[in-house]
Structure 1
Amino acid sequence: MTETIDLASPFKLPCGAVIPNRFLKSAMSEQLGTRHHDPVPGLARVYERWAKGGVGLNMSGNIMIDRTALGEPKNVVLDDQSDLAAFRNWTRAATTCGSHFWAQLNHPGKQIPSFLAKEPVAPSAVPLGRGLEKAFNTPRALEESEILEIIQRFAAAAALAKEAGFTGVQIHGAHGYLVSQFLSPRHNQREDQWGGCLENRMRFVLEIYRAIRERVGAAFPVGIKLNSADFMKDGFSETDSMAVVDQLAQAGMDLIEISGGTYENPSMMGSLKNQVKESTRNREAYFMDYAEKVRRVATAPLAVTGGFRSARGMQAALDSGATDFVGLARPLVLVPDLPQRVLADPDYTLDLASPTTGIKNLDKSLGIGLVWFEQQIHRMARGKDPKKNLSAWRTVWMQLAGMGATSFKRRRA
């Protein structure tokens, strides 16, 4: 008999760790770091709520490995200057009810807003395009010694994550950040062992994985978030991505979460919805077609994030065999106990809000679609419930109160 796999089924990772169900809370921007870039106490409250709501795997938002390289003003940083007591408070809460809690580790590379860095670093001195040149400064190409140092920073952060009580780590290799930049021929134009052919371009991420594995051991989960493609001319292609997935799987990666896009073409923020076929939209998950192709060539466990809105859509994704986990982000902001509701009602469906001030340029300058959900997370951090009818204008004022004039400085695409 064929074993029935449903959303409540546990999953054993290659390292031996068992995730209690198939719901993965994917990383989101939180902007809840202290002035010293430690997690604010309210983050523990938010992640405990998701754990109690039935999430099997809680993924943190961006945790930066270098406090001199921040992607956003209030990023959390994990390094030798961090207050591990604050992190332990967070991890204790997020692992309530048996949930796993992984630290998403990241370096932004050149995706640092100009008000945070005059000269960011990247594989090559190639600026961001598509009108982002004014908001993001042209980077300096990394020296090889700096590349090796960053690899060790990832490994050191992973070791600290394990010490602080995280049950795993995820390398952020998607969305145009530094690992993604190394993988992309558009952004990586090096002529040494770190650039050129795909074998060289993937060297950086493979060395990060090996360095992390050496520090945390064979039984500690290590995963990655990876683009299916950049959806950019001359960028990281689907063919490249599948080859990288194959190599990561052979290296022993425990979980590969599939996403897509960069700041220049932010498919991860929903812009892909208008680019995909009707049949893909009906399946809800943006990247399922790619996952099905990957499943034929790689054995690593897979998670697909983006687009899920119904219990039937989530179960259908598992039934297809293309993914092992259902990745959820913004739906969990509005409905923190979404997994419990889905398991209780096979007809459950969520309508996701599309906030707007009614002024297109203001929405764009503030990134209203991003900050509206950030503010909902901030409400939960204060012990309040999400507010589905939260006014976009109220979001503007809350953002101004929290970040001042920085609110109008572009930090995302």
Structure 2
Amino acid sequence: MSSLNDPVKLPSGLVFPNRLVKAAMAEMLAGFWNTPTSSLLKVYEQWGKGNWGGILTGNVQVDVNHLGTPFDPALAGEYTDPESNKDLLATWKKYADACQEHGPPAIVQLCHPGRQSLRVAGRRGPFASPIAPSPIPLEMGDSFVQRWMSWFVFPPPREMTQADIDLVTRQFVDAARLMADAGFSGVELHGAHGYLIDQFLNPKSNIRTDVYGGSAAKRAKFVLDILREIRAVVPPTFSIGVKFNSADHNSASFEDTMTQIGLLDDAGIDFVEISGGTYEDPKMFDHPGQPAQSQPQEQKSARTAVREAFFLEFASAVRTRYPSLMLMLTGGFRTRAGAEYALSQNACDLIGIGRPAAIDPNFAKLLLDENLSESEAQLVLKRVAVPFWAKWIPLSAVGAGWESSYYTKQIQRIARGLRTILPV
């Protein structure tokens, strides 16, 4: 059976010394200027010492005018070349060095939020519209209050023109070139959690009738063009991955989803990370061993109840269709036994771990230490309690947002050299 300690080699030639990857999480440490700060570097130095096989950064936004949170690191302008952008390159090189100086390769998660850009996030101004493949607003409920609050937090988007698409494509390519020149080992295009690439891939948010919509292949054109153009300007040893939303096996769009993953495989992607959820339906914050509220406990199979991986069945389906595609599975892992189970099912090659890493930067060491028993090689995390006042806000994402904020604060405690606090 595959071991967590086994090295993994990507098609680009990049080698992860073991199978555990620190997954991307929001740090909110880039300050008002949205650049890598000393605090951001400090927390990545700690993760770099944690014996992770690889490190995925939190979101790096490709356009400072469109941010997911007000304090995301982002590119403020065009990147041309190392000589013309010496100061910019030096700043990001410090980030790459902090991540990798203790050994693990670091992959930068590149993102554009599209319609999921908070009204107060980004330099476009609070009254300017975000952009999206189609002018479909974010909806976090059907009631008047829910719709009004959704509008208040997330302004309705405008449909992207071809000029917008060309600009954003160039921004992704510029960002990837900068990360390669700075010394990072690769980039991951964030095509999950309802962000812009996911919005293009999803027929619910992409109702275009041009070359970017109308079929699974056309909806994938946006990300495939970005992938192709990045590959043309970075070294062949620079890895490119995509984070991809899982789909319900009973969904009518399942075959479309498999088609899109096949197109990524044909394009020569180095790895696909399987995750899931959006702001409208935040499945990425479900808890292992706990069914989603809409899913009665009796409907959960015995096998599902004991495993941790949120999206393991979907990853297994992808593996069956595309056996040579390198897969990372993220979401819900808390124990060595859970991670080993996912490997034993041949559902993935890499295990992505988020929230435990926000509590213990050395969590990978714990899982990899074969001298520890199964009961010792774990970190049990309770659901973060939502304050009483938040329960009166009728938005599905409030609880998920509160949970995300809790772990962001723990990351910030690591950056300040403070002990993290387990949820109680």
> Could you say whether these structures have the same fold, taking a TM-score greater than 0.5 normalized by the shorter chain as the test?
yes
- What whole-Å deviation, never above 9, does each CA across 1:258-282 have from its counterpart, x for those lacking one? 0111111011122795236243231
Provide the C-alpha distance between the structure 2 equivalents of 1:40 and 1:245, rounded to a whole number of angstroms: 35
Task: Indicate which of 24, 27, 32 corresponds to 1:30.
Answer: 27
The aligned residue for residue 405 of structure 1 is none
- Within the alignment, does 1:97 sit opposite 2:114 as a pair? no
Q: For 2:291, which of 274, 294, 305 is the aligned residue?
A: 274
Q: Secondary structure at 1:355's aligned position in 2?
A: coil
Question: CA-atom RMSD, angstroms?
Answer: 2.2
Provide the rounded CA distance (Å) in 2 between the counterparts of 1:46 and 1:153. Answer: 27
Code of the aligned partner of 1:156: D
The answer (yes or no) to whether the contact 2:249–2:314 under 8 Å persists in 1 is: no
Q: Could you tell me which residue of structure 2 aligns to residue 353 of structure 1? A: 382
Aligned-pair identity in percent equals 37
1:318 equivalent in alignment to 2:343: yes
Partner amino acid for 1:243? Answer: T
Q: Which whole-Å CA distance do the structure 2 matches of 1:225 and 1:231 have between them?
A: 18
Give the counterpart letter for 2:231 in structure 1. Answer: R
| Pair 302,71 (structure 1): closer, same or farther in 2 beyond 3 Å | same
Question: Paired residue for 1:8, among 5, 15, 19?
Answer: 5
Q: CA deviation at 1:358?
A: 4.1
| Aligned residue in 2 for 1:134 | 152
The normalised TM-score by structure 1 is 0.88
For the residues of structure 2 that align with 1:7 and 1:388, how far apart are their CA atoms?
Answer: 25
The residue matched to 1:169 in structure 2 has which SS?
strand
Q: Which residue does 2:320 correspond to in 1? A: 296
TM-score by length of 2: 0.86
Query: Which amino acid in the other structure matches residue 361 of structure 1?
Result: A
Relative to structure 1, the CA distance from residue 83 to residue 58 in structure 2 (aligned partners, 3 Å threshold; closer, same or farther) is same
Structure 1 pair 68/191, CA: closer, same or farther in 2 (3 Å)?
A: same
Select between 72-81 and 355-364 the one with higher mean Cα deviation.
355-364
Deviation for aligned residue 1:40 = 1.3
For residues 379 and 108 of structure 1, do their structure 2 counterparts lie closer, same or farther at Cα, with a shift above 3 Å needed? Answer: same
Matching residue of 1:329: 354
Provide the residue aligned with 1:42 in structure 2.
39
Unaligned ranges ≥5, structure 2 = 80-86
Q: Secondary structure at the match of 1:225?
A: strand
1:286 aligns with 310
Query: Contact between 1:230 and 1:265, CA under 8 Å: does it hold in 2?
Result: no
Distance 2:402 2:418 in 1: 21
The letter for the 2-side match of 1:183 is L
Alignment of 1:111 with 2:127, yes or no, is no
Aligned twin of 1:163: 181
User: In the alignment, is the contact (CA less than 8 A) between 1:71 and 1:111 conserved in 2?
Assistant: yes
Task: Compute the displacement of 1:382 (Å).
Answer: 1.1
Number of the residue aligned with 1:305: 330
Between the two proteins, the alignment pairs up a number of residues equal to 385
* Matching of residues 38-77 of structure 1 within 5 Å: 38-77=35-74
Q: Which residue of structure 1 aligns with residue 212 of structure 2?
A: 194
Are 1:311 and 1:346, in contact at CA under 8 Å, matched by a contact in 2?
no
**How far apart, in 2, do the equivalents of 1:205 and 1:230 lie?**
22
Check whether the contact 2:287–2:332 (CA below 8 A) recurs between aligned residues: no
SS at match of 1:50: helix
Aligned letter for 2:416? R
The residue number in structure 2 matching 1:368 is 402
Matches within 5 A, 1:359-398: 359=388, 361=390, 367-388=401-422
> 117, 125, 128: which is aligned to 2:135?
125
Distance (whole Å) between structure 2 residues aligned to residue 295 and residue 313 of structure 1: 18
Contact 1:104–1:170 at 8 Å: present in 2 too?
yes
1:262 aligns to what SS in structure 2?
A: coil
**Per-residue deviation, 1:231:** 9.7
User: Which residue number in structure 1 is paired with residue 90 of structure 2?
Assistant: 85
Q: Secondary structure at the match of 2:232?
A: helix
Give the gaps of 5 or more residues in structure 1.
392-413
Deviations 1:77-97 (A, max 9, x none): 135478332322221121133
CA distance in 2, matches of 1:338, 1:90: 22
Question: Cα 1:89–1:10, aligned 2, differ >3 Å: closer, same or farther?
Answer: same
Shift of 1:178: 0.4
Q: Is the 8 A contact 1:127 1:137 kept in 2?
A: yes
